[in-house]
Amino acid sequence: MPSKTYLWIEDRKGKAGFLFWKTLMRELCPDVIVESKKNNSELVKAVKALQDRNNQYIIVLDHAFDNLQVYREQKLLKTYADGKDNVFLLSIICFEYLLLEFDKLVDWIYAPDDEFLIKRAWAVKAREMLLPMIRSGELNYTSIREIVTNDNYKKEYNIEQLSARLLYDLTRNTGFEISKGKIGDCWIRSCCEWQERQEDDICGLENNRMSISEKMRAVYQGTSLSKEFSNAGLEVVL
pLDDT tens digits, one per residue of 75-89: 999 999 998 999 999
Architecture of the domain defined by 5-94+218-231: 3-Layer(aba) Sandwich (3.40)
Task: Report the alpha-carbon distance of residue 96 to residue 26 in Å, rounded.
Answer: 19
The predicted pLDDT at position 153 comes to 58
Give dist(CA 149, CA 143) in Å, integer. 11
For the chain, the farthest-separated pair of C-alpha atoms sits apart, in whole angstroms, at 58
Local structure of 79: helix, strand or coil: helix
Contact assessment for residue 160 and residue 96, using Cβ atoms and an 8 Å cutoff: yes
What confidence score (pLDDT) does residue 90 get? 95
Contact 212, 23 (CB under 8 A): yes
Indicate the domain borders of the chain.
5-94+218-231, 96-211
Q: Do residues 235 and 31 make contact, with C-beta atoms less than 8 angstroms apart?
A: no
Q: What is the pLDDT of residue 152?
A: 55
Residue pLDDT, tens place only, 91-143: 999 999 999 999 999 999 999 999 999 999 989 988 998 899 888 877 665 66
**Using 50, 70 and 90 to split pLDDT, how confident is the model at 70?**
confident
Say what the pLDDT of residue 193 is.
Answer: 85
DSSP letter, residue 12: P
Using pLDDT thresholds of 50, 70 and 90, give the confidence band for residue 200.
confident
Q: What percent of the chain has pLDDT over 70?
A: 91
- The mean per-residue pLDDT over the stretch 18-37 comes to 97
Q: What is the pTM of this model?
A: 0.91
Cβ atoms of residues 200 and 174 within 8 Å: no
Residue 151, pLDDT > 70, answer no
198 confidence band (pLDDT: 50, 70, 90): confident
pLDDT of residue 4: 96
Query: What is the predicted pLDDT for the residue at 142?
Result: 66
Lowest mean pLDDT segment, chosen from 13-17, 33-37, 128-132, 208-212: 128-132
